Amino acid sequence: MEAVFKITSSEFDKELFDKIKKLLEDKNAFVTIAVHESSSTDYWEKLRNSTLDIESGRGITFSMDQLETFIKK
């Protein structure tokens, strides 16, 4: 299993860290945290493109329960 969480530095807080930790409970897994600097323009461009993808049907959504079920497979 591999999961990539892309967040801004302001979104990385204890609550998110605890959620990821809980998701990995009882799993033999490694966690890698990579930090990439980007300009504000890059962030907003990627966000705009992602929004367009979702609006045009090129995306998927899932609940935390569905993610946990997928991880267990």
- 71, 27 Cβ separation under 8 angstroms: yes
Residue extents of the structural domains in the chain? 9-72
- Predicted local confidence at residue 38, as pLDDT: 72
pLDDT score for 14: 92
- pLDDT of 67 reads 85
Query: In which residue ranges of the chain is pLDDT below 70?
Result: 1
> For position 36, what pLDDT does the model report?
79
Average pLDDT score over the chain: 84
Torsion angle in degrees (nearest 10) through CA of 50, 53, 56, 59: -100
pLDDT (0 to 100) of residue 1: 61
